[in-house]
């Protein structure tokens, strides 16, 4: 199965262990060959998630990445960690993790939206962890990646290879069920993940939808289900490449879930430049009266400095490098309001907090009222 170049990777001391991981995956999934990748994205960055054992494993990895490789959010804003309520011990451990990734040649992006920094091209093979980014890349960009773990994504980054199976193969990307969707798309995605967890949905929307709404949909279906891609009629690049499924279900994006929030958290996945602008427009010059935390990448924040300054002048806090799910500081709140189906799924399980759900407008209105 291995070509000459791949055999050399297995014999090289610096790539041997990572190559063994790739070959073990290939065996499990009966992959006929390995395929070269153009980029990797690594999850499992927050010290809260990987702990000391994960840090020790990272230290054992040799070599350097051979393709552009980006990194998921950490457990804190690297500059405002103290303001967030992060302990000094956590800070030190988190920095150690980041220093290891630097040594390996990974770009310290600390975001779940790597496609805002480096956008994959149609048909490119990737090795991406972070389920929301996987769905986005497959569905909206037409790139090809399976749902990788942080470990397998790093192994692929160092070897430049991933097993050729699953969504790397065109015929495996065919839709399996038509979903007629209406209402909030993040809520739609949350319900689809619960009700159709192993399908590839073919969405038909009842309205014009934005790229940011499709991003929220991507995150929701991945969090509540095992879904790694979807098609959307006349919107996504491969929607017309396959026969339309006969099975049809209808999903309404409406979730009745509420508690009295101490924190309103937006940015799961990280906010785009356009979302930051929309939040500012919705606030409409009013003062923020409750804790409003907005999460984005440092890359997007740097591109939106004026908007970020205006948001913070009105009382919002715009944090970078982290999010409400992977940072332990969310646990100090009893109830958090979100507009994200991913956060709705993960916050109660990972952070042990109650969650109130609403669309972006409802979240902003709650923050200023």
User: Using one digit for the tens of pLDDT, what is the confidence trace for 313-349?
Assistant: 999 999 999 999 999 999 999 999 999 999 999 999 9
Q: What is the DSSP letter of 79?
A: T
Q: What is the pLDDT of residue 1?
A: 73
3-state DSSP assignment of residue 291: strand
Tell me the pLDDT of the chain (369 aa) as tens digits. Answer: 799 999 999 999 999 999 999 999 999 999 999 999 999 999 999 999 999 999 999 999 999 999 999 999 999 999 999 999 999 999 999 999 999 999 999 999 999 999 999 999 999 999 999 999 999 999 999 999 999 999 999 999 999 999 999 999 999 999 999 999 999 999 999 999 999 999 999 999 999 999 999 999 999 999 999 999 999 999 999 999 999 999 999 999 999 878 999 999 999 999 999 999 999 999 999 999 999 999 999 999 999 999 999 999 999 999 999 999 999 999 999 999 999 999 999 999 999 999 999 999 999 999 999
In the chain, list all ranges with CATH 3.30.499.10.
263-368
Please report the pLDDT score of residue 277 as a whole number.
98
pLDDT of residue 234: 97
Q: How confident is the model at residue 258, as a pLDDT?
A: 82
Cβ-proximal residues to 240 (8 Å cutoff; 6+ apart), any chain: none
Q: How far is CA 234 from CA 199, 204, 208, 309, in A?
A: 20, 9, 11, 38
What pLDDT, on the 0 to 100 scale, is given for residue 167? 98
Q: Which of 137, 74, 132, 125 is nearest to 102 (CA)?
A: 74
Q: Would residue 327 be called left, alpha or beta, if left means φ above 0 and alpha means ψ between -120 and 50 degrees?
A: beta
What the block records as the tokens of 278 is 């929309």
Instruction: Give the rounded distance of the alpha carbon of 151 from its chain centre.
Output: 16
Q: CB within 8 A of 234, min separation 6: which ones?
A: none
- Distance from C-alpha of 308 to C-alpha of 302, rounded to nearest angstrom: 9
Report the C-alpha gap between 148 and 98 in whole angstroms: 20
Burial group, residue 60, by CB count within 10 angstroms (0-12, 13-18, 19+):
exposed
**CATH number of this structure's domain 4-169:** 3.30.499
Distance CA 182, CA 108 (A): 38
3-state DSSP helix/strand/coil % of the chain, to nearest 5: 45, 20, 40
Is 153:133 a contact under the CB 8 Å cutoff? no
**Percent of the chain surpassing pLDDT 70:** 100
Is the separation of the CB atoms in 180 and 109 below 8 Å? no
Domain 263-368: top CATH class: alpha beta
């Amino acid at each position: 199965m291995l070509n000459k170049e791949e055999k050399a990777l297995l014999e090289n001391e610096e790539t041997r262990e990572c190559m063994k991981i790739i070959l073990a995956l290939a065996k499990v999934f009966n992959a006929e060959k390995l395929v070269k990748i153009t980029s990797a994205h690594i999850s499992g960055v927050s010290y809260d998630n990987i702990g000391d054992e994960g840090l020790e494993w990272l230290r054992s990895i040799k070599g350097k990445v051979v393709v552009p490789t980006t990194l998921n959010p950490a457990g804190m804003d690297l500059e405002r960690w103290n303001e967030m309520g992060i302990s000094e011990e956590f800070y030190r451990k988190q920095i150690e993790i980041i220093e290891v990734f630097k040594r390996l040649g990974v770009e310290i992006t600390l975001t779940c939206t790597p496609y805002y920094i480096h956008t994959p091209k149609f048909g490119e093979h990737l090795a991406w962890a972070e389920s929301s980014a996987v769905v986005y890349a497959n569905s909206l960009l037409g790139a090809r990646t399976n749902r990788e773990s942080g470990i397998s994504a790093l192994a692929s980054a160092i070897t430049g290879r991933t097993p050729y199976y699953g969504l790397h193969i065109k015929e495996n990307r065919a839709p399996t069920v038509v979903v007629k969707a209406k209402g909030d798309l993040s809520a739609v995605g949350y319900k689809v993940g619960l009700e159709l967890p192993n399908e590839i949905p073919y969405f038909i929307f009842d309205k014009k939808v934005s790229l940011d709404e499709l991003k929220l949909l991507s995150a929701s279906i991945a969090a509540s289900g095992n879904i790694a891609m979807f098609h959307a009629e006349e919107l996504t690049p491969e929607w017309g490449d396959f026969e339309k499924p006969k099975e049809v279900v209808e999903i309404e994006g409406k979730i009745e879930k509420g508690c009295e929030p101490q924190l309103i958290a937006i940015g799961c996945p990280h906010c785009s430049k356009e979302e930051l602008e929309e939040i500012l427009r919705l606030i409409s010059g009013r003062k923020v009266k409750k804790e409003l935390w907005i999460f984005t990448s440092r890359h997007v924040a740097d591109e939106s400095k004026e908007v970020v300054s205006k948001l913070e002048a009105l009382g919002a806090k715009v944090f970078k490098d982290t999010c409400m799910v992977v940072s332990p500081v969310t646990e100090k709140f009893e109830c958090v309001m979100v507009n994200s189906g991913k956060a709705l799924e993960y916050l109660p399980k990972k952070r042990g907090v109650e969650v109130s759900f609403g669309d972006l407008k409802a979240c902003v209105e709650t923050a200023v009222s």
